[in-house]
Amino acid sequence: MTHTTPKQYFSRTCNSPVGQLKLVVSDKGLAAILWEKDDPHRVHLNDVVEKDDHPLLIETERQLKEYFSGVRKMFNLELDFAGTDFQRRVWAALLTIPYGETRSYSEIAKQIGMPSAARAVGAANGKNPISIVAPCHRVIGSTGNLTGFAGGLATKEYLLCLEAPQSGLFGTHRQARAHKSSDASTGA
């Protein structure tokens, strides 16, 4: 009988314009970016040890800071997705959505060769452990409406505005920031 050792994870918390983010890595790559008020059952990780000096955690935080400052459009990080084959196919499709663009759940379903699986794509999108880097915020409803997001709809709007400040599609960057501030003051 073969005994496998559970995967070891290391974490670091960093501040961002959308609140504190918990970065989690394994020996294979970035495993999760968790929201400050994330549902503890959304992403399953075992044995997470805080380790502020882990090189991949430091690099992830550096790239996130560049992203939030508008300098970085693509991330260059090793990723360690843990999920079902279907979930990993959806998450791989997220990585193909260009900065500043959006896709609908049905477009992602078609992209992965399962055109009738839009709802399942939505469920997998909601379980995406590597938010922002695997840009689940770029997936919207077929009508163009913002739909569910683990970080909250105000955060989703903020990220889309950050990526497309001149588009007018989601308002201005300043409006998203004001919206985020009003959410914080109301506790939403």
List residues with catalytic annotation. Answer: 136
CB neighbour list of residue 62: distance below 8 Å, 6 or more residues apart:
none
Beta bridge partners of 130: 33
* Contact indicator for 26, 81 with CB cutoff of 8 Å: no
- CA 97 vs. chain centroid, Å, equals 13
Residue among 84, 139, 83, 144 at smallest CA distance from 111: 139
* Contact indicator for 93, 111 with CB cutoff of 8 Å: yes
Q: Give the whole-angstrom CA distance, residue 3 versus residue 13.
A: 32
Coil/strand/helix, residue 16? coil
CB neighbour list of residue 168: distance below 8 Å, 6 or more residues apart:
none
Q: Give the whole-angstrom CA distance, residue 62 versus residue 182.
A: 28
Question: In this structure, what token pair is assigned to residue 183?
Answer: 């959410």
